[in-house]
Structures are given as C-alpha cells and as structure tokens.
A and B are shown apart, each in its own frame.
Chain A
Amino acid sequence: MNEGRREIIQLVFVLVGLIFLVKLFFIQVLDNKYAELADSNAILRQVEYPFRGLITDRHGKLIVYNTPEYDLTAIVKDIKNFDSTKFCQVFELSREDLRLKFKEMKKRKEYSPVKPTLFIDQLSNLDFARVQDRLDEFSGFYIESRTTRAYTTSALANALGYVSELSKDQLERDEKTFYRQGDYIGQSGIESYYEEQLRGKRGVRFKLRNVKGVEKGSFKNGAYDTLAIPGQDLVSGIDLDLQQYGELLMKGKSGSIAAIEPSSGEVLALVSGPSYDPNLLTGSKYSSNFRLISNDTLKPLFNRPLMAQYRPGSIFKIAQAMTALQEKVITPETRFRCDKSLIGCHAGHDNQDLRGAIANSCNPYFLGVLRKMLNKGVSNSPFEDTRIGLAEWNKHINSFGFGSNLGIDLPNEKGGLIPTPAYYDQAYDNRPWKFSNIYSIAIGEGENLVVPIQMANFAAIIANRGYYYTPHLIKAIGKDGKPLPKYIERHYTTIDSSYFRIAVDAMQQVVESGTGQYRARLADIIVCGKTGTVQNDPLPAHSVFIAFAPRDNPKIAISVYVEDAGQGARAAASIASLMIEKYLLGKTKRQFIEDYVLAGKFLDQKN
C-alpha cells in the first residue's frame, strides 16, 4: 500500500534542492544587478574637491583665494530624539524655516532616508564655529566641507567674474562629462575664461561603509582612489593698487578705464563703473545677491570696458591721420581750412597742419582728410570711388584692432563696428551712397563703434609706434609662468612705424598746449594724449581720453570713457592723468584734480 512513497519523498527532497540551485544560478551568476546593488550598498564614492587656483596681481598680491564652506547634511534614518526647538535655536531658524528645510530636502532628487542629503547649504565660517560644538546633540546631522571663493578686494569684480553651481544647461553642454550636478564652475570673467586651468582635477576615494553609513576602511586598499589635483594659480597683469584707485575715481560714474602695459599687452587696470563687490557673489548669499545685482538698473554686471560699444569721437582722428599718411593722400604739412560749413569746430585756430589739427582736434581738417582718403579719383563714379576708398580705409582701421574682437582673455567681449562698403549697401538698402552720405565717420562719429579696451589698445599701438600685443589679464599660468601662446604674438598695423612719430608729437602737443593741457599734464612725465567728446544728444556728451606715458619707452597706455560727463578734457583727461601718475609715481600729487574727479561735477563749470 505504501509502495513508491519513499521514492516520492526522496524526489521532493532532490527537487527542492534543484529548484534552489536553479534560482541561485539566476540571481548569482546570470543577473549582474545584485552585484551592482551590493557595490552601491557598500562602496561609498567620495569626491575630493580640488582647490581652485589662486589669482594674484602683477606684484604677487593675492586677489582671489579659497575659503572653507560648510554644508549641513542629514541622514533621515539616523535622526533620533530630534529636539526641534533646540535645533532652531542653534541654527537660528524659525519653525517655519525648519519645516521648509525638511520639505526642500525631501524634494531633492538625490534624497534617500539612508544617505546624507543636503539640509542647509553653505553655513558661513562663523555659523560653523558656533554649530560645531553642539552638533553632537543632533543625531543624524553631519557637516560636509568644501571650499568657496573669497576676495581680498572689493575691486575688479567684472574682470574676475564669479563662481557658482553649474546650471542644468551647462551640465548638458559638458560633453567631456567633467562636471556633475552640484559642481561649481566659473560663470564669467577670468573664472570662466580660465576655468580649465583653475578647476584642477577631482579626486575620488572609494570607501567601504556599513548599513549605517559608517566608514569601514578603504576599498581594495585604495587601488582605485585618485588624489585631487589643485588648479593652477594665475598671475594677472593687474596692478591691484592702480585698479582700486581707478575704481575709487569711477565711483558714482558710468563708464570705464582700461590701462595696458604697451610692451606686453598686459592689462594693468580694467575698471567698469558702476561695479559690485565680488564678495557678494560667494557663499550662502549668492542667490539673493545675484538677483539684486542683476536687476540693478545701473547694470553693475555689464562689463563696460569690453561690452560697451561707443562711438570713439575725436580720438579716432589719430587713426584717420595715420591711414591718410600711409595712403599718401596727405603729408604732415598738409593744411585744411577750418571750414565750419559742414561740421562744427572749436574756436582758436584757422588753418593748421596735421599736428596742429590733432592738438586742437579740428573737425573740418579731418573731414578734408577723409575726403582725400575716400575719393582718390580712381573711378569716375563718385559712388564707386568712395566704395574703393572706404574698403582701403577699412583695412587700415581694422589693423588697429578696431571692428572685431581683440581676443582678450575674458568672455563676452564685443567687437565694435568699422563700416565696410557692404555695411552701407545694407544700411542704404542698396541705393547708391557716396562720401557726402558717410562723412561723419571722419571724426569718430557716425557708424563707428569701438569698445574701451580697443581704445586703450589703440593708445598702446601709438606708444609702441605701430604694433600691439593682444591685451590680456593673465600674464602667467601655473608653474609654467607663461601666458596663453596667443598673447606673446606681436600684431603690426598696416601703417609704417615712421608715421607714428607724428602721432606721438601731436599727442604730446595735445597735453602740453592743446585740448588736454589743463588737466592731463604732469610735471615730471611727458604724457601723450588725445581728448574726445562724443555727441550723445539730448544727454550731455561722453567724455573720452586716451593717453600713454612716458613719451619714450612708455609704461602705460590708457583709455578712459565717462558717460554723460561732457568734454573729454574734463572727466576723462583728469582720470587718465591721475591713473598715469598713480602708476608711474606710486602716488598722486595733484589733490585738486583728484578732488575734482571725486566730486564728479564735470558739467557745472565753464572751462
């Protein structure tokens, strides 16, 4: 009656064993999912953030450095006996804030009750010191540190730029997948342009941890770990004292100062007014401050030396003169009557040669120069003749670095505009145009647009008698000690060096006896300069001045552009000469000029 029952039971035993082995074969051998899950369970990938490179000025003074910043994270599973009243008191939160913080945390994508999740970001140094001692009263809360940027100065904000968490767009555009969500990245200025040099290389440490997240030593004795490599330090050409002085002078004004060392193209100062304190855009107040600054109607984030495209005004006359000399349509001795029928002029001169016309900024003279330049009679048609002349003119003017981006080591540089025949074809809707339609470009008005850094570069070209190095802020990268290769290349203009002597003479005359004599002249240094007063109806004109000094072996070339400040001989000439004085002598002796600039009442007086 019980035949075969033994076998049935034996079969059941063997069958169950086989089922186990098959099931185990599936989860152990065939399915890799579990091995990966085990790794993510037990192996903690700890990112070591590298130190971002430091930035110093040309004399080694520290400008940008790193300071530790502390985030408070929480592992919700480990929070026990939470005393919310005490927590609020220690962290200076209201009950509502605390509730919000928990809500925010749980909404985060990376949120998990068993893993550390960001709870309060960027506790300041001060908060950290206070909180540190009391942290053990709150189980489940941990401090994580990383570094944030800090600045020794409130100057140079727009040139330095700022660093902030990279945006979703930036993360998507990062094709080399260097960055991860939550990483910091240079967002503008040097921080952005030299991001690759500054950022360094992240290190990774793999650590074993137990179910509570407690570390249990390194994974495979650190075989897969990499050390963080700090970013490269940058030495800028900026003279921090000069920069700060420039910012002082530009206080309450709109405009820019750009100063360059002509012999190297290193930028000595780059002032944008109005500006902001770069320390506002670091740490926990970044978001709220950024909103404030970016909504400011004075546009402090607008980097005027690079981005503001202005008509150059009378400083452009020097470029006209050089072009005309090169094309041999005039000689230094060529004279034009100061005929005010087409274009106005200042009193006090009548029939001058080239040097005199530059010194007195004679408008009709340069109208005459441009007419000769554009209408050389190579074609019988005045239209065609102008077209040919304009193309030649454009080529020369462009060789001064006008009309396109110079290639400075900052993002968002604008190129300005130097009109071409094609430009006027479009502007006149392909109807014919000739000299009489476009003559206002003769005196730097009309369609011409330049940015202040181009004006400073122009001053450097004259200082160098015909060549320039592309202006750049960073003169040395890391241990290498060299700037980017493109900044050691010399660029020549299309003008013979010998013609520049005439420009230098004339610019010396501007300061010694011409339009700039009252405020730009220095006792011990021969300053060469040129004023500009750019029409800005109905508002007051923009005040412009370019200069370099000393005349021989120049050390500084500068452009100053002050919006709505009237004549170039007033605001701009004063500021430029003070900057030169400060840079070359270390201090300024002319207190009355400084007071005049700081008072800022350039339109009040008759002068």
Chain B
Amino acid sequence: MRREDDISVKLDWTTILLFVALVTLGWLNIFAAIYDETADQTIWDLSLSSGRQLMFIAAAAVIVIMIIIIDMRFYETFAYLFYGLILVLLFLVPLIGKEVGGNKAWIGVGSFGVQPSEFAKFITALAVAKYIGSVGFRMDNLRNQAVLFALIGVPIILIQLQKDTGTALVFTSFVLVFYREGMSPFLLIVGVCAATIFVLTLLIPNPLYLHAAIAIILILLISFGKKKFKRIAILVIGALLISGVIVSVDYVVNNVLKPHQQNRVKVLVNPDIDPLGVGWNVTQSKIAIGSGGLNGKGFLRGTQTKFDFVPKQSTDFIFCTIGEEFGWIGSLVVIGLFVALLLRVIFLAERQKSRFARAYGYSVACILFFHFAINISMTVGLFPVIGIPLPFFSYGGSSLWGFTILLFVLLKLDAHRSQVLQRV
C-alpha cells in the first residue's frame, strides 16, 4: 500500500487533537461538576455521569472507526434517504417519545434513550450540502433558495413541536452556510437588524418611544436626501416594516411565548428582577464563573457547581465548572480550543474540491459555532437561557455522538478530497 493511500496519514490530525482535547476536558469537568468530597468517588464510577460519559466516549470512538471504514460516497449518496428517515423519526417522537426535563425529544430503546434531534443536525447538513452540490444548483435561483429553506424549515417545525426551541434554533445557523455559498447578505443583515430591534423592544418598556424614534429618523432621512418618489417609498415601507416588527415582537413576547420563555427573555435584559426565581440560573451561573478569578479555585475545588447552586451543571451549564475551577485562564484555553477548531474546520472546508464537501464543512463549522456561541452566551448572561449543549463538553451520549459524527464525516471527506473531481 502506498503511503498516500494510508487513511491514518490522510486524516487531519490537528482536528483530531483538538477534538480529543475538548472531549477529555469535558469528561474531567463532568466529574468536577458532580464531585462530592464527602463521598468516596472515582472518575471511572459508572454510577456517576463521568463514568457514563467515558462509556459514551468509548462508543464515540467506535463510531469514528466506522465512519472512517465506510466508503466516503455513502454519505452523499444516501443523504436524502437519511433526511427522509430522520423526518419520520422526528415526526414520531412527540407520539412515541418519552419526556425528559419538559421536552419530549427522546426515543427510548429499553432503558436507553436517544435524541433524534441531535442526529437531525448532521443529516440536515448532509442534505443541505448535497442539494448545494447538486448539478445546476444556483444560489441566486429563488426556487433553489426556497428548497434550501424548506430543507432546514421542516426539521425546525418538527423539533419545535417537541418544544425543543434550543435545538430548533440551531438550524438557523445554516443561513451562514448559504451566505458562504453565495446567498445575498440581505437576509443576514435583516436578521441582525431584527435581533437588534428585538432587544431594543425588550429594553425599552414602552414601544411608543421606539416608534417615535423611527418616525424621526424617517423624517430626517426624507428631508436630507434626494426627494425621489422611489426612495421615499422605500424608506416609508422600511419604517413601517420596522414598526411592524416592534409591534409583533411586543405581541410575541407578551402573548405568544409561554411564561417560562417570557421570563427567560426578560431576565436577559435584567437578571436582577428575580434572583431567586427566574434569574436564579443566570445569576448562579455568573456567580460560579465570576468567583473563579484569574486562576480558578482548582480542579474539584469549586463550591458553586459542587453544591448544586448552578442547575444543569454537567450538561448545559458545564462551562460554569471550567470558569469556577480554572478561572479566566481555563476559559481562555477552552475558548481558544473552540475557536481553533472552528477555524480549522473552515480551513478544511475551503480546501475541498467538491461543492458538496465544502458546503458540508461549512455546515459543520456553523452548527458547532452556534452551539458554542449560544451556550457560553447563556452561561455568562449574554443570551437567554436556551437549553443547548456545549459541543464535546456537555454530558450526554446523543449530543457527543451527534457532534462526533458531524466532525468525523468531514474528516473522512477531507481525507479523500483528492479523489473527487472538481465540479465547481
């Protein structure tokens, strides 16, 4: 066998090292989060989350080997089939699933449960990439765009039916992939503006002020610009649209969102409104992270995470353990590892010869980025509390396997990139 054919050489070991580092740190932190000084515990104990996470990691290793063994063409070939199957599963979950923590997102096989939504991310990424990579696909074609949005829209709706808003939101990260593949940035700009208006609506108690401000800006723009009918019409329509957004945000927040979701949003703007109730999670999370200082309290020495002040500390709030026990330096290392991984994934995506592989690579980067950004934002109080895990860190088999598959399919594609004829 020629050396170039050896898969172990072709795999991108930088990515693998980053992956191993993140998974190992995650495992140690899960132990730290549940560690009880008074009990005689070891990190290997299978009755603890840390022991079980080690099992999940071992299973992930098996998955990695399988991904590498399976022919690279398998993923692209069966992308739509998988997509159809996962939609069926997602549709079935609310009917046959079991409820865990308020979300009916699990399908049980005996005592063992998996979350189809965790795998839906990977499969949707495959489907989206395949569609983008398909012959005759043009991003400026409205029909093609519509299909793309449908590809991510259907899982969003099905997952939202499971009341798993966090995971549903993850699919919006594909917009960034579309942008890379040539979609007009208009949608992104509108999205960012909408988010800004959304936050402003929350911050300013009376929406009348916002409407007044928009009216003033509109009058100023009209009076100090060219007085063409078309321009004025566009400005007026734009202003009306923005006002409409404000009205609808106000309406949605106060009437559509369920009380617990409303509170999560309101706490973001003012976490002090109810430090013992709704604000508890964010307040305690910030206390835990903030008390870490520069160097942290030391491994297994955290008091906030250990004594259950922070809820969901081994899953969604795992970053608190890092912040408390390893301080800012530890946070720097973890954030550094994540950013390095994200940049590395983009680097891998950009060196693909097929459009499919590149689009898939960007999907991987964007999904990981979304999880990373939203999860840490929520623990430091920059974003409402949305239950999505920190990739590779948070406790849980489904999430670890989902991200592992996501990443290693890219590595598999990357290892065989030279065998692909360039289509673009």
B369 near A: Cβ within 8 Å? yes
A41 within 8 A of B: yes
How far is B37's CA from A64's CA once the two chains are assembled, in angstroms?
44
CA–CA, A14 and B339, complex, Å: 6
A20/B380 in contact, CB under 8 A:
yes
CA of A211 to CA of B377 in the docked complex: distance in angstroms?
Answer: 24
Q: Given A2-B182, A17-B336, A35-B291: A216 and B307 within 8 A (CB)? A: yes
Are the C-beta atoms of A20 and B376 separated by less than 8 Å? Answer: yes
State which residues 278-294 of B face A: CB under 8 Å.
284, 286-294
User: Quick check: is A60 within 8 A (CB to CB) of the other chain?
Assistant: no
Q: Which residues of the other chain, A, contact B321 by a CB distance below 8 angstroms? A: none
| A331→B150 CA distance, assembly (Å) | 130
Is B309's beta carbon under 8 Å from chain A?
Answer: yes
Q: In the bound complex, how far is the Cα of B180 from the Cα of A511, in angstroms?
A: 122
- Given A37-B287, A216-B307, is A20 in contact with B335 using a C-beta cutoff of 8 Å? yes
CB pair A24–B328 under 8 Å, yes or no, is: yes
State whether the Cβ of B331 lies closer than 8 Å to any Cβ in chain A.
yes
Give the CA-CA distance A28 to B362 in the complex, in Å: 33
Secondary structure class of chain A's binding surface, majority of residues: helix
B276 touches A113 (CB 8 A): yes
With A and B bound together, what is the CA distance between A6 and B289 in angstroms?
Answer: 33
Give me 5 A-to-B residue pairs in the complex whose CB atoms sit less than 8 angstroms apart, sorted by A's number.
Answer: A6-B180, A17-B336, A21-B335, A27-B380, A41-B284
What's the Cα separation between A210 and B311 when bound, in Å? 12
Query: Chain B's interface: helix, strand, loop or mixed, by majority?
Result: helix
Q: Are A16 and B369 in contact (CB under 8 A)?
A: yes
Closest Cβ of chain A to B334, distance in Å, is 10
- Establish whether residues B180 and A37, one from each chain, have CB atoms under 8 Å apart when the complex forms: no
A129 within 8 A of partner (CB): no
Please tell me if B38 contacts chain A, counting CB pairs below 8 Å.
Answer: yes
Q: A109 at interface (Cβ–Cβ under 8 A)?
A: no
Q: How many residues of B contact A (CB 8 A)?
A: 48
Inter-subunit contact A9/B176 (CB<8 Å): yes
Q: Are A35 and B293 in contact (CB under 8 A)?
A: yes
Asked if A41 meets B303 with Cβ closer than 8 Å, knowing A5-B179, A20-B335, A29-B293, the reply is yes
Contact A9 B180 (CB under 8 A): yes
Contacts A38-B287, A42-B304, A210-B308: A28 and B376 contacting too (C-beta < 8 A)? no
B343 and A14 within 8 A (CB): yes
Q: Taking the complex as formed, is A539 at the interface, i.e. its CB lies under 8 A from any CB of chain B?
A: no
Given contact pairs A21-B335, A27-B380, A43 touches B308 in the complex (Cβ within 8 A): no
Complex CA–CA separation, A397 to B156 (angstroms): 104
Hey, what's the 0/1 contact readout for B328-344 against A, CB within 8 Å counting as 1?
A: 10011001101100110
Q: Does B7 contact A (CB under 8 A)?
A: no
- Cα A35 to Cα B328 in complex, Å, equals 13
Find the B residue at minimum CB distance from A6.
B350
Q: Which of A1, A21, A29 contacts B294 (CB 8 A)?
A: A29
Q: How far is the CA of A16 from the CA of B376 in the complex (A)?
A: 10
Q: Does B257 contact A (CB under 8 A)?
A: no
* Interfacial residues of chain A within 455-510, with CB under 8 A of chain B in the complex: none
In the complex, which residues of chain B have a beta carbon less than 8 angstroms from the beta carbon of A1? 182
Does A222 lie at the interface of the complex (its beta carbon under 8 Å from any beta carbon of B)? no
Q: Is the CB of A28 within 8 A of B293?
A: yes
* CB pair A13 B369 closer than 8 Å: yes
Q: Is the CB of A38 within 8 A of B350?
A: no
Cα of A19 to Cα of B332 in the assembled complex, Å? 11
Whether the pair B294, A38 counts as a contact (CB closer than 8 A) is no
Q: Assess the B309–A211 pair: CB atoms within 8 A.
A: yes
Interface residues of A in 28-79 (CB under 8 A from B): 28-29, 31, 33-35, 37-39, 41-43
Residues of B within 8 A of A27 (CB): 286, 289-290, 380
**Residue in A12, A13, A21 whose beta carbon sits within 8 Å of that of B331 in the complex:** A21
Please determine whether B180 and A2 come into contact, CB atoms closer than 8 angstroms: yes
Q: A2-B182, A24-B323, A38-B304 are in contact. Are A17 and B335 (CB under 8 A)?
A: yes
Query: Does B76 have its Cβ within 8 Å of any Cβ on chain A?
Result: no
Whether the pair B176, A38 counts as a contact (CB closer than 8 A) is: no
Interface residues of A (CB under 8 A from B): 1-2, 5-6, 9-10, 12-14, 16-17, 19-21, 23-25, 27-29, 31, 33-35, 37-39, 41-43, 113-114, 208-212, 216-217
Are A216 and B323 neighbours in the complex by a CB distance under 8 Å? no
* Min C-beta distance of B23 to chain A, whole Å: 19
What residues of A have a CB within 8 angstroms of the CB of B307 in the complex?
Answer: 41-42, 208-211, 216
**Other A-B pairs, 16, CB within 8 Å; known A1-B182, A38-B288, A217-B37:** A6-B346, A9-B176, A9-B365, A10-B346, A21-B331, A23-B380, A23-B382, A25-B328, A28-B294, A35-B291, A42-B303, A209-B307, A210-B306, A210-B307, A211-B307, A216-B307
Q: Which residues of B contact A217 (CB under 8 A)?
A: 37-38
Q: Is the CB of A28 within 8 A of B331?
A: yes
> Which of B288, B289, B373 meets A16, CB within 8 Å?
B373
Is residue B327 within 8 Å, beta carbon to beta carbon, of the partner chain?
yes
With contacts A35-B290, A208-B303 taken as known, whether A5 is within 8 angstroms of B180 at the C-beta atoms is yes
Is the pair A28, B323 in contact by a Cβ cutoff of 8 Å? yes
Is the pair B309, A41 in contact by a Cβ cutoff of 8 Å?
Answer: yes
Q: Report the minimum CB–CB distance from A370 to chain B (whole Å).
A: 79
- Contacting residue for B339 out of A5, A13, A39, CB 8 A: A13
Taking a contact as CB atoms under 8 Å apart, the answer to whether B335 and A38 are in contact is no
Query: Complex: how many Å from CA A182 to CA B109?
Result: 59
Complex Cα–Cα for A324 and B328 (A): 90
- The yes or no answer to B118 lying at the interface (CB within 8 A) is no
Report the separation of the CA atoms of residues A114 and B280 in the bound assembly, to the nearest whole angstrom: 12
A residues in contact with B38, CB < 8 Å: 216-217
Please determine whether A41 and B382 come into contact, CB atoms closer than 8 angstroms.
no
| Cβ contacts under 8 Å, A37 to chain B | 287, 290-291
Question: Which of chain A's residues have a CB closer than 8 A to the CB of B182?
Answer: 1-2
| Interface presence of B181 (CB below 8 A) | yes
Shortest C-beta distance, B335 to chain A (Å), equals 5
For A28, A34, A43, which residue has the most chain B Cβ atoms within 10 angstroms?
A28
| Contact across chains for B331 and A114 when beta carbons are under 8 A apart | no
The answer to whether A17 touches B304 (Cβ under 8 A) is no
Q: When A and B form their complex, which 10 residue pairs have the shortest distance between CB atoms, in order from nearest?
A: A34-B290, A38-B291, A210-B307, A42-B303, A17-B339, A27-B290, A211-B308, A35-B291, A28-B328, A13-B342
Q: Which residues of A contact B323 (CB under 8 A)?
A: 24, 28
